[in-house]
Structure 1
Amino acid sequence: MCEHAITNLELKIKDTKLGAMYLDEITPAVLGAYRDSRMTGLEKVTGATVNREFNLLSHVFNTARREWKWIATSPTTDVRRPKAAAARDRIPTEDEIGRIETALGFDGDPISTKSQAVAVAHRFAIETAMRAGEICALKKDWIVGCVAHLPADITKNGMKRDVPLSKRAIELLGLLPTPEKPAAPLFGISTASLDALFRKARERACVEGLTFHDSRHAAITRLAKKLSVLDLARMVGHKDLRMLQVYYNESAADMAPRLD
């Protein structure tokens, strides 16, 4: 199992009733209550997130049952899993991007404010398919030539990743001011501030139903036309190729000319 994912799950359950219980005390009813609290609590999460957490818990209980003989049955087998929501397919138009950039005070020139940094980060996300947290953590010495080397501790799946940078992505980085400290993140903004400023700009620009993370969907949609599914998976950090199949939806007629 991914150490990064295990650590995240440990932090989530540590202060809950579940985290204080012994293995043989955890029943399907207890796990059902945990599922409901995750989906309706203050830090509400999606069904997909709960399913990932249950996959890890299932591995724990099955190991305890099969290898260690600590329990007779796994309580996860009798818990109803939430249905994953349909994947978002929202892609920003150039007009929407332009309106948001105007609301953020960005005109394409080198930047000097955090709002402008958000605009550059959004464009950079559309070029690279990097997540907001990865962009906000990006440091100068991680970039070698035309590749951004992301360390394992900032990626969602806990694995290091090399992200190729287009000429446009490198140009966007050139609009950022030099950090005061060499080890400081290039964009000089936290993920929370980025999210808040983006949402405010979106409202001022009268753009509905768009999130910063939709830039990743836009990027992957564009990159799928240029990269093979294996190369795209390496670039964006997907281990399950099935998650990318939706982006490769050419018809047989579209593919036919490439056969000759």
Structure 2
Amino acid sequence: MATIIKNRNKWRAQIRKKGIYKSASFHTKAEATRWAYALEAQIDAGEYNTTPNILFAELIDKYLKEVTLHKRGKKEERYRLLRIIRSNLGNIPLPLLNKEHFRQWQNQRLTEVQPVSVARERATLSALMTKAQEWDFIKENPLKTLEKIKTPPARTRRYSEEEINSLIFVSGYTPTQPPTSIQNRVGAALLFAIETAMRAGEITGLKWEHINLEQRTAYLPKTKNGYARTVPLSTKAITILKHLSQLERDKENTAFQLTTRRLDAVFRKLKQKANLHQADLHFHDTRREALTRLAKHLSVMELAKVSGHRDLSILQNTYYNPDISDLVSKLQ
């Protein structure tokens, strides 16, 4: 039942019904009563629409300021959403926005970039629309029922011993002296990644205060999925860190004294020097190589603890790629 009260020289009507709260002021009690009864009838009939009359671009802007701003990957997400704001999709009024608009956007993007990139943008949009539901801006997320994007199979590329040796050789890294140059340290980072299954960003962000050489652990307070984890270190990984400890500390107190951008750029140069520039080899492939090697000694749950995977299917299908001959040797 609506509440109608007099406030100075106006009448204020308030409605709280089925989770909806609305209020408005009128010059007469009769006007307030008519408005309240009409609105309650709409709510009871399921016809009341809480969607604000704004452009989709305005919803994106609200999401950028209130949600994206607090994410670790805010820079990349902001870039994706600003691109969408500038697209035709951003000019659609929110009350009119439907699945067909997203289908048109998706089909257009598939002519411009790879399906994997479109899938990433769509995931961001879906998270935004889910948040809009929480804000009571929309009733349903139209992306939930839009046909899925066909993406290529998960990457399965592993390093060969020859590729590893070639990259380390051209980097100039040796276990007999400290890695004083940037190329040396990128070579060390490559070997360290294969020993630990750590991501490039986790390696470049690794600080000495988070390393315990005696207990052979490295603590990662910030990771890609937002959960901290502690990584066990092999004897080879410890050896690499001991070489790095002989260097003068940088102001950030990082072990490898590299940024992710610098590591990526130098790694590409090393591939050129090693004549591997056409080998379809990424630094991130070290993670798959490391986890496949570790799987010979650790159970799947232990492997997930090392890698930080919370979805075991991703660990199995994307990052574990054993040589079938190794599995055959385990059979009777």
Q: What TM-score does the superposition give when structure 1 sets the normalisation length?
A: 0.80
Aligned partners of 1:38, 1:9: CA distance in 2, in Å?
19
Q: How many residues align?
A: 250
- Give the alignment of 1:3-152 within 5 angstroms: 4=71, 7=74, 10-18=77-85, 23-24=94-95, 26-32=97-103, 33=105, 37=109, 40=112, 46=117, 49-50=120-121, 52-54=123-125, 56-57=127-128, 59-64=130-135, 68=136, 70-109=137-176, 110-144=178-212, 145-152=215-222
Residue of structure 2 in register with 1:189 after alignment: 258
Whether the 8 Å contact between 1:46 and 1:85 is mirrored in structure 2 is no
Q: Which amino acid letter does the alignment assign opposite residue 220 of structure 2? A: L
Aligned partners of 2:82, 2:123: CA distance in 1, in Å?
19
Q: Which amino acid letter does the alignment assign opposite residue 98 of structure 1? A: N
Residue of structure 2 in register with 1:198 after alignment: 267
From 241, 254, 261, the equivalent of 1:173 is 241
Aligned partners of 1:62, 1:6: CA distance in 2, in Å?
22
Aligned partners of 2:237, 2:121: CA distance in 1, in Å?
34
Q: 1:105 to 1:9 in 2, by over 3 A?
A: closer
Shift of 1:142: 0.8
Residue of structure 2 in register with 1:210 after alignment: 281
Aligned partners of 2:108, 2:254: CA distance in 1, in Å?
37
Q: 1:61 to 1:77 in 2, by over 3 A?
A: farther
Aligned partners of 2:327, 2:281: CA distance in 1, in Å?
32
Structure number with higher strand proportion:
2
Aligned partners of 1:10, 1:236: CA distance in 2, in Å?
24
Whether the 8 Å contact between 2:203 and 2:256 is mirrored in structure 1 is yes
Query: Deviations for 1:188-209, whole angstroms, at most 9, x for unmatched residues?
Result: 1111111111111112212212
Moved more, 83-92 or 167-176: 83-92
Moved more, 15-24 or 170-179: 15-24
Aligned partners of 1:55, 1:126: CA distance in 2, in Å?
35
Q: Which amino acid letter does the alignment assign opposite residue 94 of structure 1? A: E
Whether the 8 Å contact between 1:224 and 1:248 is mirrored in structure 2 is no
Q: 1:175 to 1:36 in 2, by over 3 A?
A: farther
Aligned partners of 1:98, 1:157: CA distance in 2, in Å?
31
SS in structure 1 opposite 2:82?
Answer: coil
Unaligned stretches of 5+ in structure 2? Answer: 1-66
SS in structure 1 opposite 2:124?
Answer: helix
Q: 1:146 to 1:76 in 2, by over 3 A?
A: same
Unaligned stretches of 5+ in structure 1? Answer: none
1:220 has 2:288 as partner: no
Higher relative contact order (CA 8 A, sep 6+): 1
Aligned partners of 1:171, 1:36: CA distance in 2, in Å?
51
Q: What TM-score does the superposition give when structure 2 sets the normalisation length?
A: 0.64
Whether the 8 Å contact between 2:116 and 2:151 is mirrored in structure 1 is no
Query: Deviations for 1:187-237, whole angstroms, at most 9, x for unmatched residues?
Result: 111111111111111122122121111111100101111111111112101
Aligned partners of 1:6, 1:25: CA distance in 2, in Å?
30
Q: Which amino acid letter does the alignment assign opposite residue 222 of structure 1? A: R
Q: 1:214 to 1:252 in 2, by over 3 A?
A: closer
Aligned partners of 2:76, 2:131: CA distance in 1, in Å?
12
Q: Which amino acid letter does the alignment assign opposite residue 226 of structure 1? A: H
